[in-house]
Structure 1
Amino acid sequence: MSNVLITGITSCESRGVEALARAIAEQLTSEGGNRVTVLTQTPALDEEALASTTARCVADPFVVSRSWQQMRPQESPAELIARSEQLLAETDLVIATGGDLHTSDYGVSTPYLRALTAAQQRDIPTAVIGQSVGPFGDPADAEAWLTVADRCDLLTVRESVSHRYLVGKLGLPEHRVQLSSDPAFLLPTATDERTSAVLRPLGLTPEDPYICLAPSQGITRFSALGEMQHAAALTRLATALVRTRKMPVLLVPHCHDSRPHNDDRILAARIAEAAGMPQVMALPGALTASDYKGVLARAELVISERLHAAIGALSGGVPAIAIGHSHKFNGVLAETYGDTVDVDDIHADVRAFAQDNTVIDRIVHDTDATVLRTTLQQRLPLITDRARSDFAQINRLLAG
């Protein structure tokens, strides 16, 4: 039995982060029989969220986020160093995830290389799996990432945009990076009984069709949009979907953040109130990533500003389109659907969405969910096989 350290996890308050952590931990524990330790900013919360995986969650000693300080132990620099040394001393492999941490978008890229760098200095094998990478605005960040990437034993990205960036722009040798997919494609879905129980308070039975809309409270921070303008556009979209598609719209708050600027429950409630129609409903409750996947996997169509809500739908065989602010959105969706689907049919830039009413009209009237579903079902085995391949290679590393 090997000890695996997972880094790149911020907090399972984001159900997208939970989806990543849970999918990876379950592959390593249930399938691989390994001991898993997850480095996180919210260890007690994440220990509970990942309890079924038997993963141990500890406060990340390499990265200490000021915005989550109240949710982790207070430690001196010396205590952090001592704990990081102890963790590495008992580690056989460090796996980095995070989805899209390694970009200039959020300003935290280089700090999340520390665990990998420390492991490589001690000749502990390292892997980066299912990541989107770049673009880097600061050459120093790009150089720091390349230094780590050059020593990784396994490096995979989840879409071709990142692959082209690493090879074509940053000059990483093509044999050093593999095209894979997001590990969250392997996240288990909640049982039918559990999903029905979640939907029942909203008056929905298993036979009732509906559309899901997953809004992002935090997206305006990265897109220079005003919150009121953004919420108004989402409200127009939700009401137009009800009127045109003749089915309810469920608002899916995929991120339950303790920080209001990133808590989707606030925005979902705001949209439901502004819509003023009973068919626009915010999904209530402290739901898990698997719970949300169960709801998303029953939808007729999912429109999402949270990438992992879209992945929850896609991995359940349900067509999803994204409203995004960076290349990761169109990259992952384009990779999932393949070349036969026009990227403009599955992705809208959030700035255009909020400022141009024709974008909403196109989403509501022109999205052909049946065609997207058929294409997705043909592509999905390839996408999930890529994710499973990462873990087959990890098992070979550990057996090595």
Structure 2
Amino acid sequence: MKGLHIALLWHTFGHGNLGVDALARGNASVIRAAAAAVGVPVRFTSLGTGQNHAVPDFPDDVAIGPAPRLKPLLRGKSDFMDVIRRSDLVFDIGEGDSFTDLYGGLRYGFLLGTKLAVLAARRPLIIAPQTIGPFDNPVRRWLAAAVLRRADAVYTRDGLSTAFLQDNGVLANTDEFIDVAFALPFERAGRVGGQVRVGINVSGLLYNGGYSGRNDLGMRLDYAALMHKLIESLLARQDVETHLIVHVTGNGGPDDDLPVARLLARRYPGLVLAPVFGTSVEAKGYISGMDYVVAGRMHAAIAALSAGVPVMPVAYSRKFNGLFGTLDYPHMVDGRATSTEAALAALIDGFERRAELQDAVRHGLAIARRRLAAYQDTVAGLLEARVAARPSNR
């Protein structure tokens, strides 16, 4: 049987943001398993930004394609479009949460434009499980819904995104699954007793006050002060070993976790600074060795939960609320609605009640596994239908 060529739009293997890497690896893993289940050979081309060509453990069945670029895309002549036209299916994961106007008009327009390009090329567009919205601008909201209605399938990873689809008339060929990073494999870190290990994933974006430094994410709490107080509280405990875990590196700007982690390691010499990870698989393996995790990055929180580790996310957008609400996991600090003092109390309380959080983790992980299985079955159906639709098979 001739195989299918699948374009992975807005997927990047080896991205400096390990959440993007986790999504790429997780979604490819699910599609690969679905293809094997129905006996359909597949090969992939990734179409994402920030590709590291020296990424460890790069999958053999994935070719690195050209990143989407706005000017060639608008002209309709680009290497990117050539890959789209040669593809049997296009899975667009939107880097997990980028199809929104939360990050500004330029990024919104770029995500919208690539979807329009796929539709113009008359290729089947599959919106892979992701957060969709919010769209505060009504014109952008209308345009987003209009494009989504033309997609062949639209899948969300949380109830809030599903509600957006329903409220805006995107009703055909939709379903709700879960974040595909739950499919990310890992090797569990070994343990030989010793101190309680607490991992703190410090977000450079939150520590620096957002992209502009002027609290453009609308946080009520003072994130930098919260991290200082949390670290000082943990370092005062003789039975705790506190690790700083970086999940976004490489850009050197306010969104980079590494400069902040190094600053904190100098300020608090008792901290253990985790290594810089080459892939999300490595990061998840390290996180699996923790007893409790506080995470400013959503995919660091997902890595912890999917590895069975009690975790307290510090949320800065509705993507946290939607995803962890879908998992029936209530243990979270909403940074937009919580004071610094209340947040610190909640994080310390979570540490003290790790056993209770562990039960909630098991419950949430069971939900995620069921939803992943349902997504894999759905993808298998899409692949079979695409093979059957080929002219030679009619």
Q: Which moved more, 1:50-59 or 1:303-312?
A: 50-59
CA–CA separation in structure 1 for the residues paired with 2:56 and 2:77: 27
Q: 1:53 to 1:268 in 2, by over 3 A?
A: farther
CA–CA separation in structure 1 for the residues paired with 2:127 and 2:91: 6
1:209 to 196, 199, 209: 196
CA–CA separation in structure 2 for the residues paired with 1:156 and 1:291: 28
Gaps of 5+ in 1: 65-74, 197-203
Q: 1:294 to 1:207 in 2, by over 3 A?
A: farther
Whether 1:381 and 2:363 are equivalent positions in the alignment is no
CA–CA separation in structure 1 for the residues paired with 2:53 and 2:373: 24
Following superposition, the deviation at residue 254 of structure 1 comes to: 0.4
2:103 to 95, 106, 110: 106
Whether 1:186 and 2:183 are equivalent positions in the alignment is yes
What per-residue deviation string (whole Å, max 9, x for no partner) do you get for residues 100-147 of structure 1? 111111121232133332222333211112211111011222122212
Q: How many residues align?
A: 366
1:28 to 9, 26, 31: 31
2:59 to 45, 52, 66: 52
CA–CA separation in structure 2 for the residues paired with 1:6 and 1:378: 31
Following superposition, the deviation at residue 181 of structure 1 comes to: 0.3
Corresponding residue number in structure 2 for 1:16 = 19
Corresponding residue number in structure 2 for 1:67 = none
Preserved CA contact (<8 Å) 2:119 2:125? yes
Following superposition, the deviation at residue 289 of structure 1 comes to: 0.5
Q: 1:207 to 1:7 in 2, by over 3 A?
A: farther
Corresponding residue number in structure 1 for 2:307 = 316
1:350 to 313, 335, 342: 335
What per-residue deviation string (whole Å, max 9, x for no partner) do you get for residues 5-60 of structure 1? 111236711000000011112333465241111112233x0563561353112222
1:246 to 239, 244, 261: 239
Following superposition, the deviation at residue 386 of structure 1 comes to: 1.1
Output the amino acid matched with 2:319: K
Corresponding residue number in structure 1 for 2:135 = 136
Following superposition, the deviation at residue 256 of structure 1 comes to: 1.2
CA–CA separation in structure 1 for the residues paired with 2:337 and 2:263: 21
Q: Which moved more, 1:133-142 or 1:92-101?
A: 133-142
Corresponding residue number in structure 2 for 1:281 = 272
- The aligned runs of 1:45-194 (5 Å cut-off) are 45=52, 48-49=55-56, 51-63=58-70, 81-97=77-93, 98-107=95-104, 108-168=107-167, 170-173=168-171, 176-189=173-186, 191-192=187-188
Following superposition, the deviation at residue 176 of structure 1 comes to: 4.1
Output the amino acid matched with 1:6: L
CA–CA separation in structure 2 for the residues paired with 1:226 and 1:135: 19
Whether 1:40 and 2:40 are equivalent positions in the alignment is no
Q: TM-score, normalised by structure 1?
A: 0.83
CA RMSD of aligned residues (A): 2.7
Whether 1:258 and 2:251 are equivalent positions in the alignment is yes
Gaps of 5+ in 2: 36-40, 211-215, 386-394
Q: 1:89 to 1:310 in 2, by over 3 A?
A: same
Corresponding residue number in structure 2 for 1:365 = 349
Preserved CA contact (<8 Å) 1:235 1:275? no
What per-residue deviation string (whole Å, max 9, x for no partner) do you get for residues 283-306 of structure 1? 123442111111212221111110
Output the amino acid matched with 2:161: S
Q: Which moved more, 1:147-156 or 1:29-38?
A: 29-38
Preserved CA contact (<8 Å) 2:46 2:64? yes
Task: State the secondary structure of the residue aligned to 1:260.
Answer: coil
Output the amino acid matched with 1:312: A
Preserved CA contact (<8 Å) 1:231 1:267? no
Output the amino acid matched with 2:356: V
Corresponding residue number in structure 2 for 1:201 = none
Output the amino acid matched with 1:209: V
Q: 1:119 to 1:131 in 2, by over 3 A?
A: same
Task: State the secondary structure of the residue aligned to 1:317.
Answer: coil
Preserved CA contact (<8 Å) 2:34 2:379? no
Preserved CA contact (<8 Å) 1:12 1:49? no
CA–CA separation in structure 2 for the residues paired with 1:287 and 1:167: 39
Corresponding residue number in structure 1 for 2:392 = none
Preserved CA contact (<8 Å) 1:22 1:50? no
Corresponding residue number in structure 1 for 2:5 = 3
Q: Which moved more, 1:93-102 or 1:376-385?
A: 376-385
Q: Percent identity?
A: 22
What per-residue deviation string (whole Å, max 9, x for no partner) do you get for residues 65-115 of structure 1? xxxxxxxxxx7976x723233212210011111211111111212321333
CA–CA separation in structure 2 for the residues paired with 1:161 and 1:109: 19
CA–CA separation in structure 1 for the residues paired with 2:161 and 2:97: 10
Following superposition, the deviation at residue 321 of structure 1 comes to: 1.4
Q: Which moved more, 1:95-104 or 1:83-92?
A: 83-92
Preserved CA contact (<8 Å) 1:119 1:125? yes
Q: Which moved more, 1:289-298 or 1:27-36?
A: 27-36
Task: State the secondary structure of the residue aligned to 1:56.
Answer: strand
Task: State the secondary structure of the residue aligned to 2:309.
Answer: coil
Corresponding residue number in structure 2 for 1:223 = 217
